[in-house]
C-alpha cells in the first residue's frame, strides 16, 4: 500500500517566492499572440496613401500627430512583455532602413494570427518556427531575384530616386506636396559624401509661413539658429564674403580660468597679480585667434561678454554655445577642423565659405553658411502652420531621406503597393505544393500572411478587399509580377510602370525582422513576473 501511495504523496516543492505570477503552456502562448495582435491593430489603419493619423497625448499634455509606425509604438507605453517585441522590430526597421515600420508590425501580427489555430490544435511551436524560417529564406531569395538594379551612371538615376522618394511620401502628410519635397530630398542625399551619413542633413523647424514654395527651402551649406549672445554682439558685422572661419571647443570666458585651488597671499599686489594673470590668459587667447586671420569664430562652449566685445571692435563675428551637431556640419561644409586649443593655429585649421550672413527666418534669426567649396552637408528649413504639423513633416522627410539613401547605397528597387507581397505569396504557394507534411501548411500560412499588406492598403482606401485581391491573384497567376493596388483608380495596375518603387532592402528587412519577431514570440511558453522586492527598512 505504502509503495503504491509513494509517487502520489510526494511533497510539494515551492520553487518561487510567494505572489510570483507564473503562466505557462498553450494558454500563455495564445495570450502572447493576442497581445501582439492588439499592437498590430493599433497601427493597422495608418498604412498606405489613404491611411489615417493617430493623435497621441503624453502625460504632460503634449500632443503628437503621426502615422509613422515606429513613432506611434515608441510613444505608446506598452507594458506587455511579448508585445514589446513588435515595438523593437518597428524601431529596428526605422533605424536600419527608415521606412516600412507599419508594414513590418502588421506582417508580424498576421504571421501569428495565421498560426493561432494550429497552436490551439496542439501543433508544436517548433514545427511552426521551422516552417516560417524556411518560408522567409525562400521569400528573401525571391525578392533578390525580382529586384531591378539601378545604375548610378544612368541618365535617369536622379529621376528613379525621385520616384522612390515620392512612393515613400505617398502615405505621409506631405503627399500633396511630394513634387516639391522629393526634389529637395534627392538633392539633400546626393549632396552627401560616400558615407551617406544622414546626420549631415540638418533639419530646422520654423513655425509660420507656407510649407512649400519660397518659405521651405534646402540650403546647400549650414544654417543654425542664432545662439545666446552677450552685449557687444549687435556691433559685430552680420555678412561676410569668403570669410575665414574657425571652429573651437574652447571657452572664452574669464571664469573659465578660475580653479578650486587655495592661494594664500600676503600682500594685495600679489592678489592683483593673480587677477591680472586671468585677464592676460584670455587676452592672449583672443589675440591668437585674431592673428590667425579668423573673421567668423564659432565655439561649442560659451564666448563671454569680454570676448564678444573684443571681437566686435575688430569686425569679427562670433557665436558661442553652438550645438555640437551643427558645428560638425559647419566643419564638413567649410573645411578645417574643430580646435581644442588656440595655440599654434595654422591656415589649414581654418575653413571658408562663399558667403556668410545672419538672416531673419520667421520669428528667429539664423546664421547661414552658403557657397561652400566642397559642401558635403545641407540644411532643410521647414515652415508650416503649427509645431505638430512641422514635426510630422520632419518625420515624413526622414523616411524619404532614408529610403533614397538606401536606394543609392544598394542600387536595387522593387515595385511597391502590395505587388511584391502578392508575387511572393504566389511563389510560396507553389513551393508549398512540393513539400509534404505539416510544413506545407505553415508555408501556406506565411504566403497568406503576406496578403495583409495589399489587403490593408485596400481596406484603408475604403475599397472592396475581396474583389481587388481576387483580381490581384489572377494577375499574378497570369504572370504579371508587378501587379499591385492602384489606389487612384480603385483597380489593379502594374506598379512598376506606375513608378511606385521601393528599395529592395526595405522588403528584405521587413520579411526577416517580422519572421524573427514571430518566431521569438512562438518560442516563449512561460512567463514569470516577480513582484518588486521590498527595500529593507533602516533601523
The pLDDT of residue 324 is above 70: yes
Alpha helices in 411-451 (DSSP H): 419-432, 438-450
Q: Is 527 a catalytic residue?
A: no
Q: Residue 500's pLDDT band (boundaries 50, 70, 90)? A: confident
Nearest to 247 by CA among 320, 308, 309: 320
Query: What pLDDT score was predicted for residue 516?
Result: 93
Average confidence (pLDDT) over 10-24: 56
pTM of the model: 0.78
Query: What pLDDT score was predicted for residue 512?
Result: 94
Query: What pLDDT score was predicted for residue 62?
Result: 85
Nearest to 217 by CA among 353, 383, 371, 375: 383
Q: Which residues face 381 on adjacent strands?
A: 204, 217
Q: Which residue has the cell 558661442?
A: 320
Q: Is 68 a catalytic residue?
A: yes
- Angle of helix 504-522 relative to helix 101-120, nearest 10 degrees, comes to 30
Query: What pLDDT score was predicted for residue 174?
Result: 82
- 330-373 tens-digit pLDDT: 888 888 888 888 888 888 888 888 889 988 887 888 999 988 87
Average confidence (pLDDT) over 241-257: 81
Region of poorest pLDDT, from 79-93, 441-455, 522-536:
522-536
Percent of the chain with pLDDT over 70: 91
Alpha helices in 463-503 (DSSP H): 465-477
Nearest to 509 by CA among 394, 425, 410, 428: 410
Active-site residue (options: 399, 459, 480, 486): 399
Rounded to whole angstroms, the Cα distance separating 434 from 448 reads: 17
- 446-470 tens-digit pLDDT: 999 999 999 999 999 889 889 999 9
Q: With b meaning 16 or more CB within 10 Å and e meaning fewer, what string describes 81-114?
A: ebbebbbebbbbbbeebbbbbbbbbbbbbbbbbb
Does residue 241 contact residue 296 with C-beta atoms inside 8 Å? Answer: no
Rounded to whole angstroms, the Cα distance separating 515 from 509 reads: 10
- 30-76 tens-digit pLDDT: 888 898 999 899 899 998 888 888 898 888 888 888 888 888 888 88
Report the run of H or E that residue 319 belongs to, with start and end: strand 317-319
The pLDDT of residue 139 is above 90: yes
DSSP state of 216: S
Task: Return the C-alpha cell found at 248.
Answer: 573651437
The pLDDT of residue 422 is above 70: yes
Task: Return the C-alpha cell found at 10.
Answer: 510526494
Supply the mean pLDDT for the chain: 84
Active-site residue (options: 68, 459, 480, 486): 68
Q: Is 36 a catalytic residue?
A: no
Query: What pLDDT score was predicted for residue 539?
Result: 43
Query: What pLDDT score was predicted for residue 192?
Result: 84
Q: Residue 22's pLDDT band (boundaries 50, 70, 90)? A: low
Sheet containing 201-207, strands listed edge to edge, beginning at the edge strand earlier in sequence: 201-207, 378-384, 217-219
Judged on CB neighbours under 10 Å (0-12, 13-18, 19+), 339 is buried
Task: Return the C-alpha cell found at 81.
Answer: 512583455
Rounded to whole angstroms, the Cα distance separating 235 from 231 reads: 9
Number of helices (H), then strands (E), belonging to the chain: the values are 17, 21
Rounded to whole angstroms, the Cα distance separating 142 from 153 reads: 26
Q: Which residues face 379 on adjacent strands?
A: 202, 219
Sheet containing 221-225, strands listed edge to edge, beginning at the edge strand earlier in sequence: 221-225, 364-370, 355-361, 239-241
Domains in the chain and their CATH numbers? 21-149+415-529 (1.10.560.10), 221-374 (3.50.7.10)
Active-site residue (options: 42, 64, 102, 379): 102
Query: What pLDDT score was predicted for residue 444?
Result: 94
The pLDDT of residue 5 is above 60: no
Q: Is 326 a catalytic residue?
A: no
Q: Which residue has the cell 578650486?
A: 260
Task: Return the C-alpha cell found at 275.
Answer: 587677477
Residue 484's alpha-carbon distances to 14, 69, 313, in angstroms, are 58, 22, 67
Active-site residue (options: 36, 42, 46, 101): 101
Average confidence (pLDDT) over 313-324: 90
Rounded to whole angstroms, the Cα distance separating 33 from 29 reads: 6
Query: What pLDDT score was predicted for residue 11?
Result: 59
Query: What pLDDT score was predicted for residue 419?
Result: 92
Q: Residue 503's pLDDT band (boundaries 50, 70, 90)? A: confident
Rounded to whole angstroms, the Cα distance separating 59 from 239 reads: 45
Query: What pLDDT score was predicted for residue 9?
Result: 53
Rounded to whole angstroms, the Cα distance separating 446 from 428 reads: 8
Average confidence (pLDDT) over 513-525: 90
Nearest to 294 by CA among 238, 352, 239, 335: 352
HSE at residue 145, side-chain half, CA atoms within 13 A, is 10
Q: Residue 213's pLDDT band (boundaries 50, 70, 90)? A: low
Query: What pLDDT score was predicted for residue 260?
Result: 64
The pLDDT of residue 136 is above 80: yes
Amino acid at each position: 500500500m505504502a509503495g503504491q501511495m509513494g509517487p502520489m504523496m510526494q511533497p510539494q516543492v515551492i520553487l518561487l517566492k510567494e505572489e510570483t505570477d507564473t503562466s505557462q503552456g498553450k494558454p500563455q502562448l495564445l495570450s502572447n499572440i493576442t497581445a501582439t495582435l492588439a499592437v498590430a491593430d493599433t497601427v493597422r489603419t495608418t498604412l498606405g496613401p489613404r491611411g489615417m493619423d493617430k493623435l497621441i497625448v503624453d502625460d504632460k499634455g503634449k500632443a503628437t500627430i503621426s502615422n509613422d509606425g515606429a513613432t506611434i509604438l515608441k510613444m505608446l507605453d506598452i507594458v506587455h512583455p511579448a508585445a514589446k517585441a513588435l515595438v523593437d522590430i518597428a524601431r529596428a526597421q526605422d533605424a536600419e532602413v527608415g521606412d516600412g515600420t507599419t508594414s513590418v508590425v502588421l506582417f508580424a501580427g498576421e504571421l501569428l494570427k495565421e498560426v493561432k489555430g494550429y497552436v490551439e490544435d496542439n501543433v508544436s511551436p517548433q514545427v511552426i518556427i521551422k516552417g516560417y524560417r524556411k518560408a522567409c529564406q525562400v521569400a528573401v531569395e525571391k525578392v533578390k531575384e525580382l529586384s531591378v538594379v539601378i545604375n548610378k551612371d544612368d541618365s535617369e538615376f536622379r529621376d528613379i530616386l525621385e520616384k522612390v522618394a515620392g512612393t515613400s511620401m505617398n502615405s505621409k502628410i506631405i503627399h500633396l506636396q511630394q513634387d516639391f519635397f522629393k526634389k529637395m530630398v534627392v538633392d539633400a542625399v546626393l549632396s552627401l559624401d560616400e558615407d551617406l551619413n544622414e546626420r549631415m542633413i540638418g533639419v530646422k523647424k520654423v513655425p509660420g509661413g507656407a510649407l512649400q514654395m519660397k518659405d521651405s527651402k534646402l540650403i546647400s551649406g549650414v544654417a543654425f539658429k542664432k545662439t545666446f549672445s552677450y552685449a557687444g554682439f549687435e556691433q559685430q558685422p552680420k555678412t561676410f564674403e569668403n570669410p575665414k572661419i574657425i571652429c573651437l571647443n574652447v571657452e572664452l570666458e574669464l571664469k573659465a580660468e578660475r580653479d578650486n585651488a587655495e592661494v594664500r597671499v600676503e600682500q594685495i599686489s600679489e592678489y592683483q597679480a593673480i587677477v591680472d594673470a586671468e585677464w592676460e590668459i584670455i587676452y592672449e587667447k583672443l589675440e591668437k585667434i585674431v592673428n590667425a586671420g579668423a573673421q567668423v569664430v564659432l565655439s561649442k562652449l560659451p564666448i563671454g561678454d569680454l570676448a564678444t566685445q573684443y571681437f566686435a571692435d575688430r569686425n569679427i563675428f562670433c557665436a558661442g554655445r553652438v550645438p555640437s551637431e551643427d558645428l560638425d556640419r559647419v566643419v564638413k561644409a567649410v573645411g578645417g577642423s574643430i580646435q581644442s586649443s588656440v595655440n599654434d593655429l595654422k591656415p589649414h585649421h581654418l575653413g571658408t565659405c562663399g558667403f556668410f550672413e545672419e538672416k531673419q527666418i520667421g520669428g528667429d534669426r539664423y546664421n547661414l553658411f552658403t557657397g561652400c567649396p566642397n559642401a558635403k552637408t545641407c540644411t532643410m528649413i521647414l515652415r508650416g502652420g503649427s509645431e505638430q504639423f512641422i514635426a510630422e513633416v520632419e518625420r515624413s522627410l526622414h523616411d524619404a531621406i532614408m529610403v533614397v539613401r538606401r536606394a543609392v547605397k544598394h542600387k536595387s528597387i522593387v515595385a511597391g503597393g502590395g505587388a511584391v507581397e502578392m508575387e511572393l505569396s504566389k511563389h510560396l504557394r507553389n513551393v508549398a505544393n512540393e513539400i509534404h507534411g505539416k510544413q506545407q501548411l505553415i508555408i501556406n500560412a506565411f504566403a497568406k500572411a503576406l496578403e495583409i499588406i495589399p489587403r490593408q492598403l485596400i481596406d484603408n482606401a475604403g475599397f472592396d478587399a475581396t474583389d481587388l485581391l481576387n483580381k490581384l491573384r489572377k494577375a499574378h497567376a497570369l504572370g504579371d509580377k508587378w501587379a499591385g493596388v492602384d489606389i487612384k483608380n480603385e483597380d489593379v495596375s502594374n506598379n512598376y510602370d506606375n513608378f511606385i518603387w521601393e528599395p529592395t532592402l526595405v522588403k528584405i528587412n521587413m520579411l526577416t525582422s517580422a519572421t524573427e519577431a514571430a518566431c521569438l514570440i512562438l518560442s516563449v511558453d512561460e512567463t514569470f513576473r516577480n513582484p518588486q522586492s521590498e527595500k529593507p527598512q533602516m533601523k
